[in-house]
Chains A and B, each alone.
Chain A
């Protein structure tokens, strides 16, 4: 993957599209700092300068990061206390939800005391989303966020993502299903790996030749 340039502002969503294996997930993992980038820069404007982009981000990947032996509430409480919250960079203080509020929002409050191992795939997915709600961080990196979710929970999740965008957050989502989100831009990754083949299908193509991948927190 080379010559990928994009810019996302706060209050915007970037949908990364493309066929399987083109590098949608890899792009998210690079932004999350999980995979070292070969070259290039990823910058976040307006965040806390001493912290990396990854430390402003929530990564919501294919794995749910749940311990089956611990209860739903224990799993969520752990991530809540473990993750460091990050500023949105606009000076406003954001209230994070409590664990139970997040579980209620996602409709799995009744499972709070059950071991996470008893949950269905969709419920595990929702519990994993709850992590994003209990710790405020401006950047959400979502990898196929709606997989394993039924229609109703998909609506709830899209609503939560829209709330996050409207609150000044920034979303980068890799998907091949259409997501109905406000302020959406699109990044189409094509399988051709020669230079300059990744088309940037945003409404303003001026950013296309920017050297940096930028976001404004």
Chain B
């Protein structure tokens, strides 16, 4: 278990040091969310109605932004070869890398959500709902993106292709996330049903994501 801790700490540190790009995601999130009121106009009622969707789409794009480097940086410096042949289960390596990546880049997005929610005029209960759905749903985006990152690891301009591959697959997560975030009250069925689906998608991603990404990485050595 010690090796998993070491890998997590290393990945987390690398993401947070200069050039690691952990904060880039939050800044991009900020940019996407702030641009919407300028485009939509100063209609507070309309903004509040589409606010949850804006936040979710912003979080999705910000998550995708950093994911192309998840395995590519390791491939370029030769670390990936060693990770593959180290004797550690590659699925767990991928899972730990995703966990560290999410802690470094996804968690700041969730923490920034309440503040950015004010920009689109959400009330208190909506803020709680959006933050809660992102907390549960953003890991699913990272895990799904990890599969795309594994598939595109050997491509020079993999980042764009990654987004094109992952965005259609992220639609279910987006649908359940936004519908839970826009539901009436937290204890109502309107909130709980899509929220549970969102939890299920994340759990599903926890199993399928590392398996698929590891399979893609194994054949990337050719």
Contacts and interface: CB of A to CB of B under 8 A. Distances in A.
A66 B82 CA distance: 11
B79 A65 contact: yes
A81 B7 CA distance: 9
B128 to A, nearest CB: 37
A32 interface: yes
Given A69-B19, A70-B14, A34 B87 contact: no
Nearest to B79: A65
B84 to A, nearest CB: 7
Interface string A131-172: 000000000000000000000000000000000000000000
B19 to A, nearest CB: 7
B15 to A, nearest CB: 10
B100 to A, nearest CB: 13
A83 B86 contact: yes
B17 interface: yes
Nearest to A141: B85
B221 A35 contact: yes
Contacts of B86: 55, 82-84
Nearest to B6: A81
B10 interface: yes
B77 A65 contact: yes
A33 B85 contact: yes
A104 B83 CA distance: 26
The contact size tier of chain B is 20 to 34
B17 A59 contact: no
Given A69-B20, A82-B7, A84-B88, A29 B78 contact: no
A62 B6 contact: no
Interface in B67-109: 76-79, 81-88
A98 to B, nearest CB: 16
B13 interface: yes
For the complex, would chain B's binding face be called helix, strand, loop or mixed by DSSP majority? helix
B85 A59 contact: yes
Interface residues of A, number: 29
A33 B83 CA distance: 12
B87 A83 contact: yes
Contacts of B81: 32, 34, 59, 61, 63, 65
Interface in A45-70: 51, 54-55, 57, 59, 61-67, 69-70
A79 interface: yes
A135 to B, nearest CB: 9
Contact of B85 (A32, A63, A70): A32
Given A70-B10, A82-B7, A51 B87 contact: yes
Given A57-B85, A69-B19, A29 B221 contact: yes
Nearest to B85: A54
Contact of A69 (B2, B6, B14, B79): B14
A69 B78 CA distance: 15
Interface string B15-45: 0011110000000000000000000000000
A73 interface: no
A62 B85 contact: no
Interface of B: 2-3, 6-7, 10, 13-14, 17-20, 76-79, 81-88, 219, 221-222
6 contacts: A34-B81, A35-B222, A55-B85, A59-B81, A70-B13, A79-B82
Given A54-B87, A63-B76, A70-B13, 18 more contacts: A32-B81, A34-B84, A34-B221, A35-B221, A36-B219, A55-B87, A59-B82, A64-B77, A65-B79, A66-B77, A67-B79, A69-B17, A69-B20, A70-B17, A78-B7, A79-B82, A82-B6, A82-B7
Interface of A: 29, 32-36, 51, 54-55, 57, 59, 61-67, 69-70, 74, 77-79, 81-84, 86
